[in-house]
A and B are shown apart, each in its own frame.
Chain A
Amino acid sequence: MIRTEQELVSKIESCKSCLEKKFNGENGKRAIVICGGTGCLSSNAQQIIDNFQKGIVAHGLQDKVTVNKVGCFGFCSQGPFVKIFPEDTLYRGVTPEDVEEIIVKDLENNEIVERLLYVDPQTQEKIQKQDDITFYKKQHRVSLHGCGMINPEDINEALGYGAYEGLKKALTMTPQEVIDEVLKSGLRGRGGGGFPTGRKWQFALNQNSEQKYVVCNGDEGDPGAFMDRSILEGNPLAVIEGMAIAGYAIGAHDGYFYVRAEYPIAVERLRGAIKQATELGLLGENIYGSGFSFHVHIRLGAGAFVCGEETALLNSIEGQRGMPRPRPPFPAVKGLWGKPSIINNVETLACVPYILREGADKFATLGTEKSKGTKVFALGGKVNNVGLVEIPMGTTLRELIYEIGGGIPNGKKFKAIQTGGPSGGCLTEKDLDTPIDYDNLVALGSMMGSGGAIVMDEDNCMVDVAKFYMEFIYDESCGKCSPCRIGTKRILEILNKITDGKGSLEDLDELKELCETVRANSLCGLGQTAANPVLSTMAQFKDEYMAHVVDKTCPAHICKNLMQYVIQKEKCIGCGLCARQCPVGAIHKTDYVAPGKKLPAYEIDQDKCIKCGLCMASCKFGVIIKK
């Protein structure tokens, strides 16, 4: 139990030196660090950890090596990761079977297991250290601080890695001074709209109320975004600390985490961190004797995207359907249970300890004039390096896609990058050199959103992409207000018509009008931005819409009713594998034998074909194509 600031300082000191010794081997032990994020755990990371633990005992290394589970490394497509300190060697794509080899070669004989090193796709060079990998070079960790470094289930590691230094500093300041610092940092909300965090806090501080609340929005729902999960899994105490600082700043003594039920590991680690912090006297009544009390509670979502909208989230905590409330009154005036409340997302709160610890000025050196600091993106889709990247605001899309992301796989051509999830839009080649920040993305017809960044190549149909997002929004619309409830349905119906090859030019006009109505008339942010993917693709890829509507073709061969699988007869060797794979018996032998081939070619009966694509996948000779 920590009862004074002095005790906190010495606790932090001892944790720090302990952690440093672990990393640089001064404790006479080497440290094996294994990624325990959701992605790696699903690729048997737990088995890897177990194998290390058993193997080390079997090899009698228990006095020389420690095994550590840490949070997400971010480079998910290359996981699971194993890192060895003090050499800082990074192994990727490790399987449980590889463990024995690592123990024997590296741990016993100090010999690097070359085949498990990362290979730079451009240079084919093997890279030993994480920081030398291009994916990591341009990154700058602020909100992902500690992720992939510390054991998220051990509060001592967090305390040794900067935790509570921000809160300790904040508690020496007045609440107004804390808010001024946050204002000075230029921090804006990382969950979507980018509202200045300090201003939100100021509204809440200005309210005269005995009871106020801090709510952390962990209902990360944008398809393609998982930074909040990784932060909660990798360094939950940082978010708790950010929440406590916010509580001190606005005069709240209770904080509520609202986390998606889909994130069981994040919730478990959050619970663990709260428990450990409470036991140490770092949460609860009179935190380390500072006179400031702060209690943290967890509420789970239950599968409703709209609950990421802050007023819907409040309703959900209050046991209601997650239907948004009209604003005003704003939550800062009348929020949770009618009391002044601030709602900040996970990544935003994770930035707060950094700002207090390192100073607003340092934070503000990162980023652009109006968007300070860093932003975490979940880079995905048709890009070589898939994963979480934290980059300073102002990094260009080109750097993101081609340097960090390693470019487009299989030599395909880049078509667009979708940011902002179902609320955002698509950016194309011409936008690639734009520095990424809140205002630039909005100016280009997209938005930052929570940081999903999905890369599309020439094989993606943009009408299909728009339809995908509209289906999502239609599914997730709460149904409260009529423009969103009915409008998204009508939009989806027209998109279906178009992708079915039944659309007309009038439908395109109607589509645009509907989109604009839904945007202008809807109650909450979900509805107001619901049409963005459609409007954006209509603006950027007019030709693709026209191809669907006028020529009745899908240029990317995605829309099933507008494409065919075709066997190139003159290349077919007649092996019949495709015919055996076809689930509906749509492929049959012909009389035609291609020149130089021995067996008759096959062909596809288009009337029977259900366009499942199994034939194309099964053909070993690339004879089947989409047309």
Chain B
Amino acid sequence: MAKVNIKIEGQSYQVEEGLTILEAARECGYEIPTLCAFNHGECSLASCRVCLVEVKGARGLVASCVYPVNEGMEIIISSPKATAARRASVELLLSNHSLNCQQCDKNGHCELLYVAQITGAREGKFQGEKTPITIDQLTPSIVRDTSKCILCGRCVARCVSAHGTGILGFEKRGFNTIVAPAGNRSFGESPCILCGQCVNVCPTGALMEKSEIDRVDEAKKAGKYLVVQTAPAVRAALGEEFGMKIGTPVTGKMVAALRRLGFDKVYDTNFAADLTIMEEATELLGRIKNNGVLPMITSCSPGWVNYAEYYYGDQLDHLSSCKSPHQMQGAIIKSYFAEQKGIDPKNIFVVSIMPCTAKKAEAQRDQFIHDGMTDVDAVLTTRELAKLIKRSGINFVKLPDEEFDQDILGEYTGAGVIFGTTGGVMEAALRTAYYSLTGKEHEAIKFEAVRGMEGIKEADLEINGLNIKVAVASGMKNAKVLMDQIREGKSPYTFIEIMGCPGGCINGGGQPFVKPQFLPNEDLNILDTYKEKRAQALYSEDERQALRQSHNNTQVQELYAKFLGKPNSHKAHELLHTTYKARERFPEK
């Protein structure tokens, strides 16, 4: 790459040609305040006008997020003109913003408040009428509050880049512009899969998960028996909320924190991940043997299930009938566990800590309500757990490492851990399928071909004379490619893993925000690398496990022996399997 010579604040630098001023300045150790700019232009480019700087010889101020550096360019960030202009842009945004910062769930992560502070924006400098407000809290997953939207367009871009569905778009014009699903409908009245990717990129409180912390508090107050389970991806990211570097696994501290939060049992959803593999592998082999519908597709990800129901209602028989792991675990807690422990299941309150916003809606699906009882009673995101920990005065970093409760639902294998990243379910399934078909363990354990962050991965395997072609996709844009093949009858695959969020659960919509300006100790390119880092945290935990194949989980074996019988038994079907239903995309209101 060619280099160019530039000056910033009078200092000479050499930077790569083609960088924007904003990127070049970052390389040189300057942080120009900005709001809309995100991840290589994944936004409404140059719209917020906060990153204005002076460039010698230019006609006016330039937006550093789009203006490329060129040879001999002299950039002045601190000029009075630029400083005042940046402040004024923020002040104008604030004049059209609902300023209830204390109550705002984004407080602490709000980029608007941050640039307001660093640009010195004066409160109430400009005042006047505000754009008409919509607050959508119809779904259990996501709250959209347009009074806090700054129209940066990150969510719009993310929804397209992740899923191609483009649920969110700009609507109307000028001062009345809002970002909304078509017709300013609720997410619940649009084919939104509730994945929460939009929440992850939103700089303000305009998009947030719907908090269920209150419900946990109420259950506690009511004296319920509180059982918590944590998804694998949570441990790979929770530490970030407490200033730890991205990719630091914090399983032990997380367990310690949950105990201190008063949960009676702290379990790992990985137990149910192992259970899922037993059920799913059996289902798959059954379909192969009985000429059932193939390819079979995983059903762990509620975002993906939503997508399938909205867009591929005619192909739902390809989905595995297995519930997602935390739903299985909830069902087992309220049956097997309750029976074993002698607790009335109606008195048990199951909380799932998930990296996911779609899980909140999943837990309330009709299919998961039996006798007026849900498998899972509340779903908290990784971010909500961090809030709970902070609220309770727990110094997370100083916590000792503790172990999950090891009684009947405590054991888990490395196979369960890697469920949290794209390809993980597939790899776990392959480990067990290999054993089922050959009677021995796959020596390398790893299946490299299904690892990594590419949107679609595929592998050709020959296990004991049986040819299995598998594919792994994350992000619905990629899922669509595989689903269209299926619809056209051209799919070459036997088994497909699909995860809603790009990269899988480690990048779920409930995970800690990755905002470079709040992460001074991370690399500048952290937005390009955080998914791998979190995935690595899971793969390393897998490697540390003594047991690495789901079928070797002794407590799962015990569960079958004592309670379920065998995989796909009648009882297993009743508790661990589910059904799907095509859904209308824009139902009449």
Taking a contact as CB atoms closer than 8 A, the residue among B45, B67, B88, B151 that contacts A517 in the complex is B88
Assembled-state Cα–Cα distance A493/B151 (Å): 21
Stretch at the interface among A55-63, A226-234, A481-489, A567-575: A481-489
Stretch at the interface among A69-77, A469-477, A551-559: A469-477
B interface footprint on A497-534 (CB within 8 Å = 1, 0 otherwise): 00000000000001001100100111100001000000
Q: Report whether B52 and A521 are in contact in the complex, using a CB–CB cutoff of 8 Å.
A: yes
Q: Does A412 contact B (CB under 8 A)?
A: no
Q: Does B150 contact A (CB under 8 A)?
A: yes
Q: Does B182 contact A (CB under 8 A)?
A: no
Q: Does A325 contact B (CB under 8 A)?
A: yes
**Chain A 453-480 residues near chain B, CB threshold 8 A:** 474-480
Q: Report whether A326 and B45 are in contact in the complex, using a CB–CB cutoff of 8 Å.
A: yes
Q: Report whether A328 and B88 are in contact in the complex, using a CB–CB cutoff of 8 Å.
A: no
Q: Report whether B93 and A479 are in contact in the complex, using a CB–CB cutoff of 8 Å.
A: no
Q: Report whether A482 and B85 are in contact in the complex, using a CB–CB cutoff of 8 Å.
A: no
Q: Report whether A481 and B49 are in contact in the complex, using a CB–CB cutoff of 8 Å.
A: yes
The tally of CB-CB contacts under 8 A between chains A and B is 101
Q: Report whether A482 and B177 are in contact in the complex, using a CB–CB cutoff of 8 Å.
A: no
Contact of A479 with B174 at beta-carbon distance under 8 Å, contacts A489-B129, A521-B88 already known:
yes
Q: Does A19 contact B (CB under 8 A)?
A: no
Q: Report whether A487 and B47 are in contact in the complex, using a CB–CB cutoff of 8 Å.
A: no
- Quote the shortest CB–CB distance from B419 to chain A (angstroms): 40
Q: Is the interface of A mostly helix, strand, loop or mixed?
A: helix
Task: Report 6 cross-chain contacts, Cβ distance below 8 Å, ordered by A residue.
Answer: A326-B45, A477-B173, A479-B177, A483-B49, A490-B128, A523-B47
Q: Report whether B174 and A485 are in contact in the complex, using a CB–CB cutoff of 8 Å.
A: yes
Q: Report whether A528 and B60 are in contact in the complex, using a CB–CB cutoff of 8 Å.
A: yes
Assembled-state Cα–Cα distance A119/B150 (Å): 59
**Chain B 238-287 residues near chain A, CB threshold 8 A:** none
| Closest chain B residue, CB of each to CB of A321 | B170
Q: Does B313 contact A (CB under 8 A)?
A: no
**Chain B 63-99 residues near chain A, CB threshold 8 A:** 63, 66-68, 81, 85, 88-89, 92-93, 95-96
* B-side contacts of A517, CB under 8 Å: 85, 88-89, 92
* B-side contacts of A116, CB under 8 Å: none
For the A-B complex with A326-B67, A481-B47 known, give 9 more contacts whose Cβ atoms are closer than 8 Å. Answer: A321-B173, A326-B46, A482-B89, A486-B96, A490-B126, A513-B88, A514-B126, A521-B61, A523-B63
Q: Does A304 contact B (CB under 8 A)?
A: yes
A interface residues with partner B (beta carbon < 8 Å): 304, 321, 323, 325-326, 328, 474-483, 485-490, 493, 510, 513-514, 517, 520-523, 528
Q: Report whether B45 and A520 are in contact in the complex, using a CB–CB cutoff of 8 Å.
A: no
* A-side contacts of B126, CB under 8 Å: 486, 490, 510, 514
Q: Report whether B175 and A485 are in contact in the complex, using a CB–CB cutoff of 8 Å.
A: yes
* A-side contacts of B93, CB under 8 Å: 482, 486
B: contact size bracket: 20 to 34
* B-side contacts of A522, CB under 8 Å: 49
Assembled-state Cα–Cα distance A176/B485 (Å): 51
- Quote the shortest CB–CB distance from A130 to chain B (angstroms): 44
* A-side contacts of B175, CB under 8 Å: 474, 477, 479, 485-486, 488-489
Assembled-state Cα–Cα distance A490/B93 (Å): 11
4 smallest beta-carbon distances between A and B, as pairs? A479-B177, A326-B46, A326-B66, A477-B174
* B-side contacts of A510, CB under 8 Å: 126
B interface residues with partner A (beta carbon < 8 Å): 44-49, 52, 60-61, 63, 66-68, 81, 85, 88-89, 92-93, 95-96, 126-129, 150-151, 170, 172-177
Q: Report whether A480 and B44 are in contact in the complex, using a CB–CB cutoff of 8 Å.
A: yes
Taking a contact as CB atoms closer than 8 A, the residue among B48, B128, B173 that contacts A482 in the complex is B48
* A-side contacts of B48, CB under 8 Å: 481-482
* A-side contacts of B151, CB under 8 Å: 479-480, 482, 485
Assembled-state Cα–Cα distance A323/B175 (Å): 13
Assembled-state Cα–Cα distance A517/B170 (Å): 24
* B-side contacts of A480, CB under 8 Å: 44, 47, 151, 177
Contact of A478 with B47 at beta-carbon distance under 8 Å, contacts A486-B93, A520-B60, A521-B61 already known:
no
- Quote the shortest CB–CB distance from A105 to chain B (angstroms): 55
* B-side contacts of A481, CB under 8 Å: 46-49
Assembled-state Cα–Cα distance A490/B126 (Å): 7
* A-side contacts of B176, CB under 8 Å: 479
Taking a contact as CB atoms closer than 8 A, the residue among B46, B92, B129 that contacts A523 in the complex is B46
| Closest chain B residue, CB of each to CB of A486 | B92
Assembled-state Cα–Cα distance A480/B44 (Å): 8
| Closest chain A residue, CB of each to CB of B35 | A482
Contact of A521 with B49 at beta-carbon distance under 8 Å, contacts A304-B173, A485-B175 already known:
yes
Assembled-state Cα–Cα distance A482/B86 (Å): 11
* A-side contacts of B129, CB under 8 Å: 489, 493
* B-side contacts of A487, CB under 8 Å: 92
Assembled-state Cα–Cα distance A479/B81 (Å): 24
Assembled-state Cα–Cα distance A323/B177 (Å): 12
| Closest chain B residue, CB of each to CB of A320 | B170
Assembled-state Cα–Cα distance A528/B81 (Å): 16
